Every structure is written in C-alpha cells, then in structure tokens.
C-alpha cells in the first residue's frame, strides 16, 4: 500500500512535501510588522482627548486597520460627536462598529470579520428584571 502511495506522488519533489509551513511561522518580529504594514492588518488602540482626533481614527480605518477606541478621556458630548463621525466613516467604507465595553468601541474595515458579541452588563441586568416580572 505504501508503495502505491509513493508511486502516486513520485513526480512531486520531496521539498514540497516537507516543512514549508515552518517557514511561514519562523519569521522575525520585524518581518511580521512589515507584512502587516503591506496588508493593513494592524490593530490600533486609541484614546482620543478631543473631537479633532477622530479624523486620525478614520484614516486608520481607510488604511484597512482595525481600531479600538476608548472614549473615557473625552466629555460625553465629544464622545457622541466622535461616534457619529466614525459611524459615517464606517458606513462609507463598509465596515462595522461594535461596543465592547463602557465607552470602548471596536471599529473594523470591510476586510476584517468579527465573530461573537460582548454583552453589556446593563442589558443583562435589564433582561433578568424583565424575566422576573
């Protein structure tokens, strides 16, 4: 049986059957960062301090990078303006926005698929109260 399988693959070079996966994973950190720069697969973490920084967030999204935005350092009025601006940007590029915590949002471009959902504690408590009634 083993001989038949070997004959089936006799035209295939031995190098193509061994170890090519290891080469993919054995790259330096610098090479990995350079590859991420080319493909736009970065995760950017930002804490804006003013509405004027929302354009920087939009630029990262346009460059196909995911952005986690922490709005805890801005006033509630500025946070609403930033969310409104980012919502328009995300709509324009076909991306998504997901709330992952109080004042923390994950903004992703179209090339990133986010699976799962983080439930909000307030929504969880509200549903438990509704079940009791």
pTM above 0.85, yes or no: no
* Whole-number pLDDT of residue 102: 94
Mean model confidence pLDDT for the chain: 79
* Whole-number pLDDT of residue 131: 59
pLDDT value at 21 more than 50: no
Map tokens 């790259």 to a residue.
27
Q: Are strands 66-70 and 104-108 parallel, antiparallel or unpaired?
A: antiparallel
The stretch 79-99 carries a mean pLDDT of: 96
Name beta bridge partners: 126: none
Domain ranges of the chain: 41-112
* Whole-number pLDDT of residue 41: 79
Distance CA 55, CA 89 (A): 9
Which residues, 6+ apart, have CB-to-CB distance to 16 below 8 Å? Answer: none
Distance CA 29, CA 63 (A): 21
Between 108 and 38, name the one with better pLDDT: 108
Q: Which CATH architecture has domain 41-112?
A: 2-Layer Sandwich (3.30)
* Whole-number pLDDT of residue 111: 87
């Amino acid at each position: 049986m083993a001989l038949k399988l070997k004959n089936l693959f006799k035209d295939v070079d031995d190098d193509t059957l061994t170890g090519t996966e290891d080469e993919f994973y054995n790259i330096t950190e610098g090479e990995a960062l350079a590859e991420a720069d080319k493909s736009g697969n970065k995760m950017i973490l930002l804490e804006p301090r003013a509405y004027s920084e929302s354009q920087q967030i939009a630029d990262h999204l346009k460059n196909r990078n995911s952005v986690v935005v922490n709005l805890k350092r801005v006033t509630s009025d500025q946070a609403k303006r930033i969310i409104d601006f980012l919502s328009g940007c995300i709509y324009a590029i076909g991306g998504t926005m997901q709330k992952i915590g109080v004042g923390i949002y994950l903004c992703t471009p179209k090339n990133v698929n986010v699976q799962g959902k983080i439930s909000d504690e307030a929504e969880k408590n509200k549903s438990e109260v509704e079940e009791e009634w």
